[in-house]
Amino acid sequence: MSTFQAPKGTYDLTPPRSATFLAVREAIAAPLRDSGYGYIETPGFENVELFARGVGESTDIVTKEMYTLTTKGGSQLALRPEGTASVLRAALEANLHKAGNLPVKLWYSGSYYRYERPQAGRYRHFSQVGAEAIGTEDPVLDAELIILADQAYRSLGLRQFRILLNSLGDKECRPVYREALQTFLRDLDLDEETRRRIEINPLRVLDDKRADVQKQLTDAPKLRDYLCDACKAYHEEVRALLTAAGVVFEDDEKLVRGLDYYTRTTFEFVHDGLGAQSAVGGGGRYDGLSEMIGGPELPSVGWALGVDRTVLALEAEGIELDLPATTSVYAVPLGEEARRALFGVVTGLRRAGIAADFAFGGRGLKGAMKSANRSGARYALVAGERDLAEGVVQLKDMESGEQSAVPLSEVEAELAKRLG
């Protein structure tokens, strides 16, 4: 151990577990790539105002959890706590919405930062793969995204996850509901902070986890009863499309989410094996966000899936991904001359697209063969002075243990043939 450790609330991804993280990212990205989503990458930090306006001044993310900094030049920046505001900002900046091809469908993968109280499944640095479909109001798009997330989780073998679905209404009906809810909440016996929340973000009060608060909320007005006809019809269409696709979901009226930009469709993927931090992913429609950050009207929808929690979900279900060994061939030289010759062979194999590794550091046969075993390689190449004098190397099948001499000049072709 060095003098230093990973900062509180963070952890390092190291082999072999890191391979699972890569595989999870890939499994989430694959259905997106196959469905017309293009890759986007944005900076790890942004102008702090982008998140204040986009995610919302009253959210925990903005008020408590952002890592903010002032640059030497005096700019106020924040490490990105989420991806949606950045992706929309970047799409607007690049005028992607003007290319005449709406929706603009984008996917991304990266690190996000929130100064939260660390606990199992909740970190200060975490990783998401996300998707945003910008510029189109169409329930098919909402359904597409939910179906693709479902497909990604299923391709990983996950089964114990549930999809929670809700509609938060739009700029017509939500303000009416908001006021009715505020009137109801103001009469309850609540602490100071919650009273403040009633005025700023009353829907979040519904999400309060405390039993004494929940008990008082039984008769709270329901958003469902306030949805306007357009929102109701939209939501019914999303539900019907999911049902037609065989995607099972649960209607969850209490689902409000922790970001302010949502309108209409909201959803969360929860996994039952994860305890308190059970949300493995979430998202929804954000029809007003573009205007909130100074852009034109661009109704949009998206989600982000947490890679860390998806890996925890795999572990909770006891799923081991079938990860192919990264090394196919492992070369073990015995002596100086063999080192040069075999390293040449390894370089040739790599250039031919065959994954190969090498016993570095002039180790003995026993230790080097152990490394060959550990590498998961299908074949080992062993050569000593006598082999080289005969112009051959020993090719060992690590599964069957069979070994045969192959002329040096033919090793590459022989391995290419055997590895198919």
User: What are the residues binding ligand HAM (CB under 6 A)?
Assistant: 82-84, 114, 116, 122-123, 126, 128, 130, 132, 258-259, 279-284, 286, 302-304, 306, 308-309
Task: For ligand HAM, give the closer residue by CB, 153 or 330.
Answer: 153
Q: Judge contact between 154 and 247, C-beta under 8 A.
A: no
Task: For ligand HAM, give the closer residue by CB, 122 or 232.
Answer: 122
Smallest distance from ligand HAM to CB 160, Å = 15
DSSP 177: H
Smallest distance from ligand HAM to CB 222, Å = 23
Query: How remote is the C-alpha of 293 from its chain's centroid?
Result: 24
Q: How far is CA 197 from CA 121, 146, 215, in A?
A: 26, 30, 18
Smallest distance from ligand HAM to CB 259, Å = 6
Task: For ligand HAM, give the closer residue by CB, 280 or 314.
Answer: 280
Task: For ligand HAM, give the closer residue by CB, 117 or 215.
Answer: 117
Task: For ligand HAM, give the closer residue by CB, 86 or 371.
Answer: 86
Smallest distance from ligand HAM to CB 344, Å = 46
Q: Judge contact between 97 and 104, C-beta under 8 A.
A: yes
Smallest distance from ligand HAM to CB 308, Å = 5
Assign 3-state DSSP to the chain and report helix, strand, coil percentages, each to 5: 40, 20, 40
Closest CA to 57 of 197, 186, 194, 265: 197
**Which residue number has the CB closest to ligand HAM?**
306
Smallest distance from ligand HAM to CB 118, Å = 8
Smallest distance from ligand HAM to CB 45, Å = 16
Smallest distance from ligand HAM to CB 69, Å = 19
Task: For ligand HAM, give the closer residue by CB, 149 or 415.
Answer: 149
Cα separation of 375 and 381, whole Å? Answer: 13
Question: Parallel, antiparallel, or unpaired for β 45-47 and 68-70?
Answer: unpaired
Cα separation of 360 and 19, whole Å? Answer: 23
Using the Cα atoms of residue 89, residue 92, residue 96 and residue 100 in order, give the sign of their dihedral.
positive
Task: For ligand HAM, give the closer residue by CB, 280 or 395.
Answer: 280
Residue by residue, what is the 3-state secondary structure of 188-248? CCCCHHHHHHHHHCHHHHCCCCCHHHHHHCCCCCCHHHHCCHHHHHHHHHHHHHHHHCCCC
Task: For ligand HAM, give the closer residue by CB, 286 or 379.
Answer: 286
Closest CA to 20 of 360, 415, 311: 311
Would you state the torsion angle of the CA atoms of residues 268, 270, 274, 278, taken in this order, to the nearest 10 degrees? 30
